[in-house]
Amino acid sequence: MKTIIRITLAAALSLGAISVASAAEFTNGVVQKVDAKGKKLTIKHEELTNLDMPAMTMVFSVADPAMLEEAKEGQSIQFVAERLRGKLTVTEMK
């Protein structure tokens, strides 16, 4: 019984370490365009290391449409982009 508890605890701690390792990494960018109808942002950004992309300007979907209300053209932001359901998506923004 103690062995099972130790194995379970070790597994839980391992999963916790993986979660911390994959924590969101923010990237600097500048909002170029806000497309409220299309629920998209065009962002000129630095390298996206988690997506293995160089710095460029590109269009992203947003995970939360409320982000579109916060974003203004010309605004400097920090954001997290991920590939969700095959689309490059801004999942966090500050």
> 24-93: what CATH class?
mainly beta
How is residue 37 written in tokens? 């109808």
Q: Is the pLDDT of residue 90 over 50?
A: yes
Domain map of the chain by residue range? 24-93
- Output the pTM of the full model: 0.75
Across the range 48-56, mean pLDDT stands at 95
Q: Which residues contact 14 (CB under 8 A, 6 or more apart)?
A: none
Q: Is the pLDDT of residue 11 over 70?
A: no
Q: What per-residue confidence (pLDDT) applies to 9?
A: 45
> CA dist 35 to 25, 46, 53, 66, Å?
24, 21, 23, 12
**Cα of 63 vs its chain's centroid, Å:** 9
Q: Is the pLDDT of residue 56 over 80?
A: yes
The vertex-65 CA angle with 83 and 16, nearest 5°, equals 45
Q: What per-residue confidence (pLDDT) applies to 24?
A: 72
3-state SS, residue 3: helix
